[in-house]
A = this chain, B = another copy of it.
Amino acid sequence: MSTPLPPPRTAVVDAVSRALAEDLEPLGDVTSSLLPADLVATARFVVRVDGVVAGCACVTETYAQLDPTVSISWSVTDGDVVAAGTELAAITGPLPSLLTGERTALNLLGHLSGIATATAAHVAAARAGGNAQVWDTRKTTPGLRALEKAAVRAGGGRNHRGNLSDWILLKDNHIALYGIADAVARARAMWPAKTVHVECDTVAQVREALDAGADALLLDNMSPEKVRECVAMVATSARRPLLEASGGITLDTIADYSATGVDCISVGGLTNSSPVLDIGLDIESGVETGAGSD
């Protein structure tokens, strides 16, 4: 199988330059100024707990922007499953540079690996119940969507709409105004090749959307039983639309939804509520930094 699509390089470059400016200006790293500028050291990014890695390109870019004399050697790549204690990468260069970039690198790597790790956990749980894929949503951290959606892919998840420009998602307001059949027809007329996705709160709406020829149905806030009912109904249609279950589904309940035969399950919490993955930077000589420091 092909590897997950990495984030666009433009997004990596922009996020890192904003993060460095944010952490350094106006004076720079006043503490690192106390160290000899030419003291070369090696440090290792080590994961403290089990997880899935994402965001490697951000770490590389951080040091490239900060100090091109720092070299970096990766032992893993985005999407790798790692056990607590695994060394992810080693960096060598002037100690002040290593320390100045540490927090920017760790913030990006930890945040994105946290998302990949949470995604992988949901994927595993879903697989325990059935074959449903795990989807993200547009509930991302403003300014980091491209990186977060790539982290979801690294964790084995799939991406829902990239943004509002991506595809049609008809919700209650559109349906209230036009009814499902007319709303789908209008969408097709205006945006002929866009996916038309319809949010359905009831089985009756699923019926309507099916008849209207929607490409995908979002089954919103339904119980697993209701979802199963929809799956059955759809199975008999000429061209089975994609079925997405959504709405308050968690790691605890995802297997039940997966077992319904639904195609995918979207979880907003992957991108807006995943805790960071604990990763530290151990400076050679065994000194280590990490959870306890600012």
Q: B-contacting residues of A (Cβ < 8 Å)?
A: 1-11, 13-37, 39, 65-67, 95, 99-100, 103-104, 106-108, 110-111, 114, 133, 137-146, 149-150, 158-174, 176-178, 183, 186-187, 189-195, 197, 199, 213, 215-216, 218, 220-221, 238-239, 242, 244, 246-248, 263-264, 266, 268-269, 272-276, 283, 285, 287-289, 291-294
Q: A149-B27, A173-B35 are in contact. Are A164 and B239 (CB under 8 A)?
A: no
A145 / chain B contacts, CB cutoff of 8 Å: 22-23, 26
Cβ-neighbour of A34 out of B2, B166, B264 (below 8 A): B2
How many copies of this protein are present in the complex?
6
Determine whether the beta carbon of B110 is less than 8 Å from that of A220. no
A5 / chain B contacts, CB cutoff of 8 Å: 27-30, 32-33, 190
Residue of B nearest to A18 (CB): B143
Residue of B nearest to A213 (CB): B239
Determine whether the beta carbon of B166 is less than 8 Å from that of A165. yes
A215 and B33 alpha carbons, distance in the complex (Å): 19
Cβ-neighbour of A10 out of B10, B65, B199 (below 8 A): B65
> Nearest Cβ distance between residue A134 and chain B, in whole angstroms?
11
Determine whether the beta carbon of B276 is less than 8 Å from that of A146. no
> Nearest Cβ distance between residue A184 and chain B, in whole angstroms?
10
Q: A10-B25, A37-B3, A165-B25 are in contact. Are A107 and B272 (CB under 8 A)?
A: yes
A27 and B173 alpha carbons, distance in the complex (Å): 21
> Nearest Cβ distance between residue A244 and chain B, in whole angstroms?
8
Determine whether the beta carbon of B246 is less than 8 Å from that of A294. yes
Cβ-neighbour of A163 out of B14, B24, B158, B199 (below 8 A): B24
12 A-B pairs besides A160-B193, A238-B239 with CB distance below 8 A are A5-B32, A8-B28, A8-B165, A15-B143, A22-B145, A23-B145, A107-B140, A107-B142, A133-B192, A143-B143, A167-B195, A213-B239
A194 / chain B contacts, CB cutoff of 8 Å: 30, 167, 195
A–B complex contacts, Cβ < 8 Å, 23 sampled? A2-B34, A2-B37, A5-B33, A10-B17, A14-B21, A23-B138, A23-B163, A27-B162, A28-B146, A29-B165, A30-B164, A31-B170, A95-B173, A110-B272, A114-B272, A138-B294, A142-B144, A172-B283, A192-B242, A193-B195, A238-B238, A246-B294, A269-B276
A264 / chain B contacts, CB cutoff of 8 Å: 192-193
Determine whether the beta carbon of B146 is less than 8 Å from that of A144. no
> Nearest Cβ distance between residue A196 and chain B, in whole angstroms?
9
A287 and B13 alpha carbons, distance in the complex (Å): 32
